[in-house]
Amino acid sequence: MPDGTTPAQSRPSQGTPASNPRPGQTHFVADVSETPVAVVDKVDEDAPASSLWRDAWRDLRHRVLFWVSAALILAVLLVALFPGLFTSVDPRFCELRNSLGNPQAGHPFGFDRQGCDVYSRVIYGARASVSVGVLTTIGVVLLGGLMGALAGFYGRWFDSVLSRVTDIFFAIPLVLAAIVLGQVFTEGRTVLNVVAVLTVFGWPQVARITRGAVMSVKNNDYVTASKALGASRLSILGRHVLPNAAAPIIVVATVSLGTFIVAEATLSFLGLGLPQSVLSWGHDIATAQSSLRTNPSVLLYPSVALALTVLSFIMMGDAVRDALDPKARKR
């Protein structure tokens, strides 16, 4: 050839097939202008910064389970906060002539054995049950979160002592301990008494979850950088460690809220929870068991209300857990 090279030594033109040393095989060399790598790998600088919570919300809003549970929880909260919007009947007004009466206009669920309107009692009973569940969850998260965060962050002998205390309380069944301790408040029981009893024995699970989450976060690079900059240990724990360890705590708190509602209903059913003067689903279920054979609907309505409330919080906890779990989220 004119340049002194042989056909075997010449390079194939870009974008055209070239011969391969193996017979019957060809390969192509693409033109650089046809593969704009810079455009493909370009990062959108105007897009908002991604975070765990932003990715979790993006995942949650596409889940049917989340919206169903959110609708149920919103309905329960509205009923608990504003019961007067859903019924105008006094739940404490009873007439024996209506004992176990059938549904009628203005009384869609009928009457219980005392002649009280079942629908109004179900509506007003939500307030006490939801209040106990929410207040107990707040108390458990504060107490258990504090114990678990201190144990996981400081470690050593501090972790050993708090872990052994947690194990002691964890070995005590919640409802059994609440029944025994509830005997102390045989007179003058209030919502706060029940909340205090459930909080004292309900915090170990949150403490364990918090301890594990803090231990997995405290050795990250941003924590080490904060230490190098001279930040105090309490400041690092409050500003960097706990916010990044909050995801599993939120999940267990959401699920535990339903558990505490069931615990309150169980105590009230046994006569060891809220006083009779406070409307509660547990009281109505306990009263309606004598009418199970003759009129089972009196027991059905408060039981369904309790079950739907607990189920809604459990479904919300499952949806939030899947959204906050990096392994479960779609990349």
For the chain, domains (ranges, CATH) are: 59-88+111-324 (1.10.3720.10)
DSSP states of 127-166: HHHHHHHHHHHHHHHHHHHHHHHHHHHH-HHHHHHHHHHH
Chain centroid to Cα 239, Å, comes to 22
pTM of the model: 0.77
Q: What does the CA dihedral 121, 123, 125, 126 come to, rounded to 10 degrees?
A: 170
What pLDDT score was predicted for residue 173?
85
Distance CA 267, CA 110 (A): 26
What pLDDT score was predicted for residue 2?
47
What pLDDT score was predicted for residue 30?
59
Paired tokens of 270: 């046994």
Paired tokens of 231: 């930040």
pLDDT tens for each residue of 184-217: 766 667 788 888 888 988 888 899 999 988 888 8
pLDDT tens for each residue of 39-55: 555 555 565 556 667 77
Counting Cα atoms < 13 Å in the Cβ hemisphere of 292 gives: 6
Q: For the packed helices 246-269 and 204-217, what is the interaxial angle rounded to 10 degrees? A: 180
What pLDDT score was predicted for residue 74?
94
Paired tokens of 221: 């690079």
What pLDDT score was predicted for residue 172?
86
Q: Do residues 268 and 241 make contact, with C-beta atoms less than 8 angstroms apart? A: no
* List of the chain residues with pLDDT < 70: 1-52, 185-188, 325-331
Q: Do residues 308 and 299 make contact, with C-beta atoms less than 8 angstroms apart? A: no
What pLDDT score was predicted for residue 5?
47
